[in-house]
Amino acid sequence: MLEEHRSTQKISREDICRQLRFCAEIRALHSARPGGPPLACTQTYGCQQNEADTERLRGYLAEMGYAFTQSPAEADVIILNTCAIREHAEHRVLGAVGALVHTKREKPGQLICVCGCMAQEPHTAETLKRSYRQVDLVFGPQALWRFPELFHRLLTRRGRIFDTDLSAGAIAEGIPVVRQEGVKAWVPVMYGCNNFCSYCIVPYVRGRERSRAPEDILAEIRELVQAGCRDITLLGQNVNSYGADLAGGMDFAGLLRAANEIPGEFLLRFMTSHPKDASQELFKAMAECEKAAPHFHLPFQSGSTRVLEAMNRRYTREGYLEKVAALRALIPDIVLTSDVIVGFPGETAGEFEETLSLIEEVRFDALFTFIFSPRKGTPAASMPDPMPREEKAAHFQRLVAVQDKISEEKHAAYIGKTLRCLVDGADEKGLTARTPGNRLVRLQGGEELAGRFLDIVITGANKWSLTGEPAGG
Ligand code: SF4
Protein backbone atom coordinates (compact mmCIF):
# COMPACT_ATOMS: atom_id res chain seq x y z
CA MET A 1 0.00 0.00 0.00
CA LEU A 2 2.83 2.42 0.78
CA GLU A 3 5.90 3.27 -1.23
CA GLU A 4 8.81 3.62 1.17
CA HIS A 5 11.41 5.63 -0.74
CA ARG A 6 12.58 7.79 2.17
CA SER A 7 11.71 8.22 5.83
CA THR A 8 8.28 9.60 4.92
CA GLN A 9 5.90 7.17 3.32
CA LYS A 10 4.11 7.94 0.09
CA ILE A 11 0.67 6.62 -0.74
CA SER A 12 1.04 4.46 -3.83
CA ARG A 13 -0.39 5.45 -7.21
CA GLU A 14 -2.58 2.32 -7.12
CA ASP A 15 -4.16 3.47 -3.86
CA ILE A 16 -5.01 6.88 -5.30
CA CYS A 17 -6.41 5.16 -8.43
CA ARG A 18 -8.56 3.04 -6.12
CA GLN A 19 -9.93 6.21 -4.55
CA LEU A 20 -10.69 7.58 -8.01
CA ARG A 21 -12.57 4.36 -8.79
CA PHE A 22 -14.74 5.02 -5.72
CA CYS A 23 -15.38 8.50 -7.15
CA ALA A 24 -16.47 6.94 -10.46
CA GLU A 25 -18.81 4.52 -8.66
CA ILE A 26 -20.38 7.40 -6.73
CA ARG A 27 -20.81 9.35 -9.98
CA ALA A 28 -22.57 6.29 -11.44
CA LEU A 29 -24.86 6.11 -8.38
CA HIS A 30 -25.92 9.69 -9.04
CA SER A 31 -26.40 9.27 -12.79
CA ALA A 32 -29.97 8.01 -12.48
CA ARG A 33 -30.91 10.96 -10.31
CA PRO A 34 -33.43 13.38 -11.86
CA GLY A 35 -32.97 17.16 -11.83
CA GLY A 36 -29.29 17.82 -12.42
CA PRO A 37 -26.14 17.02 -10.49
CA PRO A 38 -26.15 16.68 -6.71
CA LEU A 39 -24.85 19.71 -4.82
CA ALA A 40 -22.00 19.97 -2.32
CA CYS A 41 -21.26 22.82 0.05
CA THR A 42 -17.81 23.12 1.63
CA GLN A 43 -17.00 25.42 4.54
CA THR A 44 -13.41 25.99 5.64
CA TYR A 45 -12.20 27.27 8.99
CA GLY A 46 -8.67 28.24 9.98
CA CYS A 47 -5.45 28.44 8.04
CA GLN A 48 -4.40 28.25 4.39
CA GLN A 49 -3.43 24.61 4.87
CA ASN A 50 -7.10 23.91 5.51
CA GLU A 51 -8.01 25.93 2.40
CA ALA A 52 -5.60 23.79 0.41
CA ASP A 53 -7.10 20.60 1.90
CA THR A 54 -10.60 21.78 0.99
CA GLU A 55 -9.46 22.31 -2.61
CA ARG A 56 -8.55 18.61 -2.68
CA LEU A 57 -11.88 17.56 -1.15
CA ARG A 58 -13.63 19.65 -3.80
CA GLY A 59 -11.49 17.91 -6.42
CA TYR A 60 -12.73 14.53 -5.21
CA LEU A 61 -16.33 15.80 -5.02
CA ALA A 62 -16.14 17.06 -8.62
CA GLU A 63 -14.91 13.60 -9.69
CA MET A 64 -17.95 12.15 -7.92
CA GLY A 65 -20.21 14.32 -10.06
CA TYR A 66 -21.05 17.02 -7.53
CA ALA A 67 -21.63 20.65 -8.46
CA PHE A 68 -21.05 23.29 -5.79
CA THR A 69 -23.31 25.61 -3.86
CA GLN A 70 -22.66 28.07 -1.06
CA SER A 71 -26.04 27.37 0.49
CA PRO A 72 -26.13 24.61 3.14
CA ALA A 73 -29.93 24.55 2.77
CA GLU A 74 -29.79 23.30 -0.83
CA ALA A 75 -26.73 21.05 -0.50
CA ASP A 76 -26.93 17.27 -0.65
CA VAL A 77 -23.62 17.03 1.14
CA ILE A 78 -22.00 19.54 3.49
CA ILE A 79 -18.34 19.33 4.50
CA LEU A 80 -16.98 21.41 7.34
CA ASN A 81 -13.18 21.47 7.31
CA THR A 82 -12.37 22.55 10.84
CA CYS A 83 -9.64 24.28 12.83
CA ALA A 84 -8.55 23.46 16.38
CA ILE A 85 -6.01 26.19 16.93
CA ARG A 86 -8.19 28.31 19.23
CA GLU A 87 -11.20 27.70 21.41
CA HIS A 88 -13.12 30.42 19.58
CA ALA A 89 -12.70 28.57 16.26
CA GLU A 90 -14.01 25.36 17.84
CA HIS A 91 -17.07 27.10 19.23
CA ARG A 92 -17.81 28.58 15.82
CA VAL A 93 -17.62 25.15 14.19
CA LEU A 94 -19.83 23.51 16.81
CA GLY A 95 -22.31 26.37 16.39
CA ALA A 96 -22.34 25.81 12.62
CA VAL A 97 -22.73 22.04 13.02
CA GLY A 98 -25.56 22.62 15.51
CA ALA A 99 -27.41 24.84 13.04
CA LEU A 100 -27.29 22.11 10.40
CA VAL A 101 -29.82 20.09 12.35
CA HIS A 102 -32.43 22.40 10.77
CA THR A 103 -31.20 22.07 7.18
CA LYS A 104 -31.13 18.31 7.57
CA ARG A 105 -34.69 18.33 8.91
CA GLU A 106 -35.79 20.29 5.82
CA LYS A 107 -33.79 18.09 3.49
CA PRO A 108 -33.84 14.49 4.71
CA GLY A 109 -30.99 12.52 3.17
CA GLN A 110 -28.58 15.41 3.43
CA LEU A 111 -25.14 14.16 4.49
CA ILE A 112 -22.98 16.14 6.93
CA CYS A 113 -19.24 15.53 7.14
CA VAL A 114 -16.81 17.09 9.61
CA CYS A 115 -13.08 16.85 8.91
CA GLY A 116 -9.85 18.71 9.66
CA CYS A 117 -7.92 19.31 12.87
CA MET A 118 -10.88 19.49 15.24
CA ALA A 119 -12.19 16.17 13.98
CA GLN A 120 -8.85 14.62 14.92
CA GLU A 121 -9.13 15.62 18.58
CA PRO A 122 -10.48 12.64 20.54
CA HIS A 123 -12.68 14.75 22.83
CA THR A 124 -14.25 16.59 19.87
CA ALA A 125 -14.87 13.39 17.92
CA GLU A 126 -16.58 12.03 21.05
CA THR A 127 -18.70 15.18 21.39
CA LEU A 128 -19.76 14.93 17.75
CA LYS A 129 -20.61 11.26 18.21
CA ARG A 130 -22.70 11.78 21.33
CA SER A 131 -24.30 15.20 20.95
CA TYR A 132 -24.42 15.96 17.20
CA ARG A 133 -26.38 13.05 15.78
CA GLN A 134 -26.89 14.92 12.50
CA VAL A 135 -23.20 14.38 11.62
CA ASP A 136 -22.68 11.34 9.38
CA LEU A 137 -18.94 11.24 8.70
CA VAL A 138 -15.99 12.44 10.77
CA PHE A 139 -12.39 12.09 9.60
CA GLY A 140 -9.06 13.70 10.44
CA PRO A 141 -6.50 15.32 8.10
CA GLN A 142 -4.56 12.06 7.77
CA ALA A 143 -7.57 10.32 6.24
CA LEU A 144 -8.29 13.02 3.64
CA TRP A 145 -6.80 11.03 0.78
CA ARG A 146 -9.28 8.20 1.58
CA PHE A 147 -12.35 10.46 1.55
CA PRO A 148 -13.92 8.77 -1.53
CA GLU A 149 -13.73 5.35 0.11
CA LEU A 150 -15.26 6.64 3.36
CA PHE A 151 -17.95 8.54 1.52
CA HIS A 152 -18.76 5.54 -0.69
CA ARG A 153 -19.21 3.43 2.45
CA LEU A 154 -21.51 6.09 3.86
CA LEU A 155 -23.64 6.17 0.71
CA THR A 156 -23.89 2.44 0.22
CA ARG A 157 -24.11 1.05 3.73
CA ARG A 158 -25.52 3.90 5.81
CA GLY A 159 -24.63 4.21 9.47
CA ARG A 160 -22.30 6.90 10.84
CA ILE A 161 -18.52 6.70 10.24
CA PHE A 162 -15.78 7.99 12.51
CA ASP A 163 -12.25 7.62 11.11
CA THR A 164 -9.89 9.55 13.36
CA ASP A 165 -6.94 7.22 13.95
CA LEU A 166 -3.75 9.26 14.12
CA SER A 167 -1.24 7.45 11.92
CA ALA A 168 2.32 8.65 11.36
CA GLY A 169 0.95 10.33 8.23
CA ALA A 170 1.96 9.93 4.64
CA ILE A 171 2.22 11.95 1.45
CA ALA A 172 -0.51 11.51 -1.14
CA GLU A 173 0.04 12.82 -4.68
CA GLY A 174 -2.41 12.80 -7.57
CA ILE A 175 -5.53 13.89 -5.66
CA PRO A 176 -7.64 16.03 -8.02
CA VAL A 177 -7.90 19.70 -7.04
CA VAL A 178 -10.63 22.28 -7.62
CA ARG A 179 -9.04 25.61 -6.82
CA GLN A 180 -10.63 28.88 -5.97
CA GLU A 181 -10.77 31.05 -9.04
CA GLY A 182 -8.19 33.76 -9.34
CA VAL A 183 -4.51 34.40 -9.66
CA LYS A 184 -3.50 33.13 -6.22
CA ALA A 185 -2.79 29.54 -5.28
CA TRP A 186 -1.51 27.60 -2.29
CA VAL A 187 0.89 24.73 -2.72
CA PRO A 188 1.53 22.57 0.34
CA VAL A 189 5.19 21.57 0.46
CA MET A 190 5.00 19.62 3.70
CA TYR A 191 2.54 18.46 6.32
CA GLY A 192 2.64 18.09 10.10
CA CYS A 193 4.96 19.55 12.69
CA ASN A 194 7.67 18.25 15.02
CA ASN A 195 8.02 21.30 17.22
CA PHE A 196 5.49 20.84 20.01
CA CYS A 197 5.26 24.46 21.09
CA SER A 198 3.63 24.09 24.47
CA TYR A 199 0.43 25.96 23.52
CA CYS A 200 -0.16 24.36 20.13
CA ILE A 201 -2.41 21.47 19.16
CA VAL A 202 -1.12 21.08 15.59
CA PRO A 203 1.48 18.32 16.14
CA TYR A 204 -1.16 16.25 17.92
CA VAL A 205 -3.70 16.49 15.11
CA ARG A 206 -1.57 16.77 11.96
CA GLY A 207 1.18 14.32 12.89
CA ARG A 208 4.93 14.49 12.25
CA GLU A 209 6.64 16.53 9.54
CA ARG A 210 6.66 14.99 6.11
CA SER A 211 7.82 16.69 2.93
CA ARG A 212 6.51 16.32 -0.58
CA ALA A 213 9.07 15.37 -3.20
CA PRO A 214 10.52 18.49 -4.90
CA GLU A 215 9.64 17.20 -8.38
CA ASP A 216 5.95 16.95 -7.41
CA ILE A 217 5.93 20.47 -5.95
CA LEU A 218 7.75 21.97 -8.93
CA ALA A 219 5.43 20.22 -11.38
CA GLU A 220 2.43 21.66 -9.53
CA ILE A 221 3.89 25.19 -9.58
CA ARG A 222 4.68 24.89 -13.29
CA GLU A 223 1.11 23.80 -13.99
CA LEU A 224 -0.29 26.68 -11.91
CA VAL A 225 1.83 29.26 -13.71
CA GLN A 226 0.73 27.86 -17.08
CA ALA A 227 -2.89 28.10 -15.89
CA GLY A 228 -2.43 31.80 -15.10
CA CYS A 229 -1.58 31.84 -11.37
CA ARG A 230 0.65 34.76 -10.51
CA ASP A 231 0.94 34.60 -6.72
CA ILE A 232 1.91 31.21 -5.32
CA THR A 233 2.28 30.54 -1.60
CA LEU A 234 4.28 27.51 -0.50
CA LEU A 235 2.68 26.13 2.64
CA GLY A 236 3.89 24.19 5.65
CA GLN A 237 3.62 24.49 9.44
CA ASN A 238 7.37 25.12 9.42
CA VAL A 239 8.65 25.39 5.86
CA ASN A 240 12.20 25.90 7.19
CA SER A 241 12.48 22.23 8.02
CA TYR A 242 11.33 21.19 4.55
CA GLY A 243 13.35 18.27 3.23
CA ALA A 244 14.68 16.97 6.55
CA ASP A 245 12.93 13.66 5.79
CA LEU A 246 13.90 13.54 2.10
CA ALA A 247 16.69 11.43 0.71
CA GLY A 248 17.91 13.91 -1.93
CA GLY A 249 19.24 16.65 0.36
CA MET A 250 16.94 19.40 -0.94
CA ASP A 251 16.14 21.99 1.74
CA PHE A 252 13.68 24.87 1.60
CA ALA A 253 16.24 27.34 0.28
CA GLY A 254 17.01 24.86 -2.52
CA LEU A 255 13.32 24.42 -3.26
CA LEU A 256 12.85 28.18 -3.50
CA ARG A 257 15.79 28.46 -5.88
CA ALA A 258 14.42 25.62 -8.04
CA ALA A 259 10.93 27.19 -8.13
CA ASN A 260 12.50 30.52 -9.08
CA GLU A 261 13.82 28.87 -12.28
CA ILE A 262 10.30 28.17 -13.55
CA PRO A 263 9.63 30.52 -16.48
CA GLY A 264 6.94 33.22 -16.25
CA GLU A 265 6.13 36.35 -14.27
CA PHE A 266 4.89 35.27 -10.85
CA LEU A 267 5.61 35.71 -7.17
CA LEU A 268 6.63 33.04 -4.70
CA ARG A 269 5.56 33.43 -1.09
CA PHE A 270 5.78 31.00 1.78
CA MET A 271 4.49 30.46 5.26
CA THR A 272 5.06 29.70 8.06
CA SER A 273 8.66 29.95 9.26
CA HIS A 274 9.93 28.96 12.67
CA PRO A 275 12.61 31.44 13.82
CA LYS A 276 14.85 28.69 15.19
CA ASP A 277 15.15 27.18 11.68
CA ALA A 278 15.14 30.36 9.58
CA SER A 279 18.60 30.11 8.07
CA GLN A 280 21.08 32.51 6.52
CA GLU A 281 20.94 30.27 3.45
CA LEU A 282 17.20 30.92 3.14
CA PHE A 283 17.70 34.68 3.55
CA LYS A 284 20.34 34.53 0.80
CA ALA A 285 18.05 32.53 -1.47
CA MET A 286 15.29 35.11 -0.95
CA ALA A 287 17.66 37.95 -1.73
CA GLU A 288 18.89 36.24 -4.91
CA CYS A 289 15.61 34.87 -6.32
CA GLU A 290 13.79 37.61 -8.20
CA LYS A 291 10.47 35.77 -7.89
CA ALA A 292 10.67 35.44 -4.09
CA ALA A 293 8.34 38.10 -2.72
CA PRO A 294 10.08 40.49 -0.30
CA HIS A 295 7.86 39.44 2.59
CA PHE A 296 8.78 37.31 5.58
CA HIS A 297 6.26 36.10 8.16
CA LEU A 298 8.35 35.20 11.17
CA PRO A 299 6.24 34.54 14.29
CA PHE A 300 8.00 35.71 17.47
CA GLN A 301 5.14 34.97 19.94
CA SER A 302 6.79 36.73 22.91
CA GLY A 303 9.56 39.24 23.57
CA SER A 304 10.54 37.52 26.81
CA THR A 305 13.14 34.76 26.74
CA ARG A 306 11.61 33.20 29.86
CA VAL A 307 8.16 33.03 28.23
CA LEU A 308 9.67 31.70 24.99
CA GLU A 309 11.23 28.91 27.01
CA ALA A 310 7.89 28.12 28.66
CA MET A 311 6.41 28.07 25.15
CA ASN A 312 9.10 25.57 24.08
CA ARG A 313 10.03 27.84 21.17
CA ARG A 314 13.76 27.10 21.39
CA TYR A 315 15.07 30.58 20.59
CA THR A 316 15.69 33.63 22.71
CA ARG A 317 14.65 37.25 22.33
CA GLU A 318 18.24 38.06 21.30
CA GLY A 319 18.33 35.16 18.83
CA TYR A 320 15.13 36.40 17.20
CA LEU A 321 16.46 39.94 16.90
CA GLU A 322 19.68 38.61 15.36
CA LYS A 323 17.67 36.76 12.68
CA VAL A 324 15.74 39.93 11.87
CA ALA A 325 18.98 41.90 11.61
CA ALA A 326 20.52 39.26 9.32
CA LEU A 327 17.45 39.25 7.10
CA ARG A 328 17.34 43.04 6.88
CA ALA A 329 21.06 43.19 6.14
CA LEU A 330 20.41 41.19 2.96
CA ILE A 331 16.96 42.59 2.07
CA PRO A 332 16.66 46.07 3.62
CA ASP A 333 13.09 46.71 2.41
CA ILE A 334 11.72 43.31 3.47
CA VAL A 335 8.12 43.45 4.71
CA LEU A 336 8.13 41.73 8.06
CA THR A 337 4.99 40.34 9.70
CA SER A 338 4.61 38.19 12.76
CA ASP A 339 2.35 36.45 15.29
CA VAL A 340 2.28 37.29 18.99
CA ILE A 341 0.46 35.75 21.93
CA VAL A 342 -0.59 37.99 24.83
CA GLY A 343 -1.25 36.48 28.26
CA PHE A 344 0.60 33.17 28.00
CA PRO A 345 0.21 31.38 31.38
CA GLY A 346 2.56 32.94 33.91
CA GLU A 347 3.46 35.94 31.73
CA THR A 348 4.09 38.88 34.07
CA ALA A 349 3.44 42.55 33.43
CA GLY A 350 7.19 43.01 33.03
CA GLU A 351 7.39 40.23 30.46
CA PHE A 352 4.55 41.81 28.53
CA GLU A 353 6.59 45.05 28.47
CA GLU A 354 9.43 43.04 26.88
CA THR A 355 7.01 42.00 24.12
CA LEU A 356 6.03 45.62 23.56
CA SER A 357 9.66 46.72 23.43
CA LEU A 358 10.45 44.03 20.87
CA ILE A 359 7.60 45.27 18.69
CA GLU A 360 8.90 48.83 18.97
CA GLU A 361 12.42 47.70 18.17
CA VAL A 362 11.58 45.54 15.15
CA ARG A 363 8.74 47.70 13.81
CA PHE A 364 6.79 44.98 12.03
CA ASP A 365 4.67 45.96 9.05
CA ALA A 366 1.73 44.02 10.49
CA LEU A 367 1.04 41.69 13.40
CA PHE A 368 -1.44 38.90 14.01
CA THR A 369 -2.26 39.28 17.68
CA PHE A 370 -3.90 36.67 19.89
CA ILE A 371 -4.85 36.36 23.53
CA PHE A 372 -3.72 32.98 24.85
CA SER A 373 -6.35 30.28 24.36
CA PRO A 374 -5.78 26.99 26.22
CA ARG A 375 -5.97 23.89 24.06
CA LYS A 376 -6.90 20.69 25.81
CA GLY A 377 -4.08 18.13 25.69
CA THR A 378 -1.24 20.68 25.38
CA PRO A 379 1.22 21.39 28.24
CA ALA A 380 0.26 25.08 28.43
CA ALA A 381 -3.37 24.21 29.16
CA SER A 382 -2.37 22.97 32.63
CA MET A 383 0.15 25.71 33.49
CA PRO A 384 -0.75 28.09 36.34
CA ASP A 385 -2.35 31.18 34.83
CA PRO A 386 -2.85 33.77 37.56
CA MET A 387 -3.28 36.93 35.43
CA PRO A 388 -6.95 38.00 35.28
CA ARG A 389 -8.59 38.08 31.86
CA GLU A 390 -9.22 41.85 32.15
CA GLU A 391 -5.51 42.52 32.62
CA LYS A 392 -4.67 40.40 29.58
CA ALA A 393 -7.32 42.27 27.59
CA ALA A 394 -5.82 45.62 28.65
CA HIS A 395 -2.35 44.40 27.55
CA PHE A 396 -3.82 43.27 24.26
CA GLN A 397 -5.36 46.71 23.64
CA ARG A 398 -2.07 48.44 24.39
CA LEU A 399 -0.20 46.15 22.05
CA VAL A 400 -2.70 46.66 19.24
CA ALA A 401 -2.45 50.45 19.68
CA VAL A 402 1.36 50.34 19.47
CA GLN A 403 1.28 48.17 16.34
CA ASP A 404 -1.47 50.25 14.70
CA LYS A 405 0.69 53.35 15.01
CA ILE A 406 3.69 51.54 13.49
CA SER A 407 1.58 50.10 10.64
CA GLU A 408 0.16 53.53 9.91
CA GLU A 409 3.61 55.13 9.83
CA LYS A 410 5.02 52.36 7.65
CA HIS A 411 2.12 52.60 5.23
CA ALA A 412 2.42 56.40 5.05
CA ALA A 413 6.02 55.96 3.87
CA TYR A 414 4.72 54.26 0.70
CA ILE A 415 2.96 57.42 -0.51
CA GLY A 416 4.53 58.69 -3.73
CA LYS A 417 6.26 55.39 -4.51
CA THR A 418 5.52 53.37 -7.63
CA LEU A 419 5.26 49.64 -7.03
CA ARG A 420 4.70 46.73 -9.36
CA CYS A 421 1.56 45.16 -7.89
CA LEU A 422 -0.61 42.22 -8.79
CA VAL A 423 -4.28 43.12 -9.24
CA ASP A 424 -5.83 40.14 -7.51
CA GLY A 425 -9.51 40.85 -7.15
CA ALA A 426 -12.36 43.26 -6.67
CA ASP A 427 -14.85 44.04 -3.94
CA GLU A 428 -17.56 46.61 -3.31
CA LYS A 429 -14.92 49.37 -3.00
CA GLY A 430 -13.20 48.67 -6.33
CA LEU A 431 -10.15 46.69 -7.39
CA THR A 432 -7.68 45.18 -4.94
CA ALA A 433 -4.01 44.60 -5.55
CA ARG A 434 -1.04 43.42 -3.52
CA THR A 435 2.39 44.96 -3.34
CA PRO A 436 5.28 42.49 -3.66
CA GLY A 437 5.47 42.66 0.15
CA ASN A 438 1.77 41.67 0.33
CA ARG A 439 0.34 45.02 1.45
CA LEU A 440 -3.23 45.57 0.29
CA VAL A 441 -3.70 48.35 -2.31
CA ARG A 442 -7.11 49.69 -3.31
CA LEU A 443 -7.57 51.30 -6.71
CA GLN A 444 -10.23 52.09 -9.26
CA GLY A 445 -10.18 50.58 -12.71
CA GLY A 446 -11.83 48.22 -15.15
CA GLU A 447 -12.16 44.51 -14.50
CA GLU A 448 -9.80 43.87 -17.42
CA LEU A 449 -6.95 44.79 -15.06
CA ALA A 450 -7.69 41.81 -12.80
CA GLY A 451 -4.95 39.21 -12.82
CA ARG A 452 -2.35 41.58 -14.23
CA PHE A 453 0.86 42.99 -12.82
CA LEU A 454 0.59 46.77 -12.90
CA ASP A 455 2.81 49.68 -11.89
CA ILE A 456 0.80 51.53 -9.27
CA VAL A 457 1.56 54.93 -7.74
CA ILE A 458 0.63 54.95 -4.05
CA THR A 459 -1.47 58.00 -3.30
CA GLY A 460 -2.86 57.33 0.16
CA ALA A 461 -2.56 55.06 3.19
CA ASN A 462 -4.09 54.11 6.51
CA LYS A 463 -3.11 51.49 9.07
CA TRP A 464 -4.73 48.65 7.14
CA SER A 465 -4.12 49.40 3.48
CA LEU A 466 -2.82 51.66 0.72
CA THR A 467 -4.63 53.42 -2.10
CA GLY A 468 -3.17 53.98 -5.52
CA GLU A 469 -3.67 54.52 -9.21
CA PRO A 470 -2.08 53.01 -12.31
CA ALA A 471 1.23 54.77 -13.06
CA GLY A 472 1.01 57.05 -16.09
CA GLY A 473 -2.73 56.54 -16.19
S1 SF4 B 1 5.84 25.36 15.00
FE2 SF4 B 1 4.83 25.42 17.02
S3 SF4 B 1 3.12 26.85 16.68
FE4 SF4 B 1 3.79 26.18 14.64
S5 SF4 B 1 2.51 24.41 14.15
FE6 SF4 B 1 4.39 23.61 15.08
S7 SF4 B 1 3.90 23.40 17.25
FE8 SF4 B 1 2.32 24.74 16.36
pLDDT digits (tens, 9 = 90+) for 149-160: 999 999 998 789
Task: State if pTM tops 0.85.
Answer: yes
Q: Give, in order, the Cα–Cα distances in Å from 354 to each of 340, 342, 370, 399.
A: 12, 11, 16, 11
User: From ligand 1's centre to the CA of 199, what distance in Å?
Assistant: 9
Strand partners, 188: 235
For residue 3, name the pLDDT band (cuts at 50, 70, 90): very low
Say yes or no to pLDDT of 40 above 90.
yes
Say yes or no to pLDDT of 24 above 60.
yes
Span of 48-52, 137-141, 179-183 with lowest mean pLDDT:
179-183
Alpha carbon 268 to chain centroid distance? Answer: 15
pLDDT of residue 299: 97
Average pLDDT over residues 204-225: 94
* Domain residue spans of the chain: 2-170, 178-412, 418-470
Instruction: State which fold the 178-412 domain adopts.
Output: pyruvate-formate lyase- activating enzyme (3.80.30)
Helix and strand element counts for the chain (H, E) = 14, 22
Asked whether 301 lines ligand 1 (CB < 6 A), one says no
> What is the percentage of the chain residues whose pLDDT exceeds 90?
82
Say yes or no to pLDDT of 168 above 70.
no
Ligand 1, residues 48, 117, 199, 200: which to mutate, most atoms within 8 A of Cβ? Answer: 200
User: From ligand 1's centre to the CA of 32, what distance in Å?
Assistant: 47
For residue 6, name the pLDDT band (cuts at 50, 70, 90): low
Say yes or no to pLDDT of 468 above 80.
yes
Question: Is domain 2-170 classified as CATH 3.40.50.300?
Answer: no
For residue 4, name the pLDDT band (cuts at 50, 70, 90): very low
Asked whether 200 lines ligand 1 (CB < 6 A), one says yes
Say yes or no to pLDDT of 281 above 60.
yes
For residue 473, name the pLDDT band (cuts at 50, 70, 90): low
**Beta strand spans in 145-203 (E):** 161-163, 170-171, 184-188, 190-191
Ligand 1, residues 120, 193, 277, 315: which to mutate, most atoms within 8 A of Cβ? Answer: 193
pLDDT digits (tens, 9 = 90+) for 41-72: 999 998 889 999 999 999 999 999 999 999 99
Instruction: State which fold the 418-470 domain adopts.
Output: OB fold (Dihydrolipoamide Acetyltransferase, E2P) (2.40.50)
Asked whether 238 lines ligand 1 (CB < 6 A), one says yes
For residue 1, name the pLDDT band (cuts at 50, 70, 90): very low
Contact 415, 459 (CB under 8 A): yes
Asked whether 241 lines ligand 1 (CB < 6 A), one says no
User: From ligand 1's centre to the CA of 290, what distance in Å?
Assistant: 29
User: From ligand 1's centre to the CA of 84, what distance in Å?
Assistant: 12
pLDDT digits (tens, 9 = 90+) for 217-240: 999 999 999 999 999 999 999 999
pLDDT of residue 399: 98
User: From ligand 1's centre to the CA of 193, what distance in Å?
Assistant: 6
User: From ligand 1's centre to the CA of 196, what distance in Å?
Assistant: 6
Cα gap 131→114, rounded to integer Å:
14
Q: Sort residue 346 into left (φ over 0), alpha (ψ -120 to 50) or beta.
A: left
Say yes or no to pLDDT of 85 above 90.
no
Asked whether 196 lines ligand 1 (CB < 6 A), one says yes
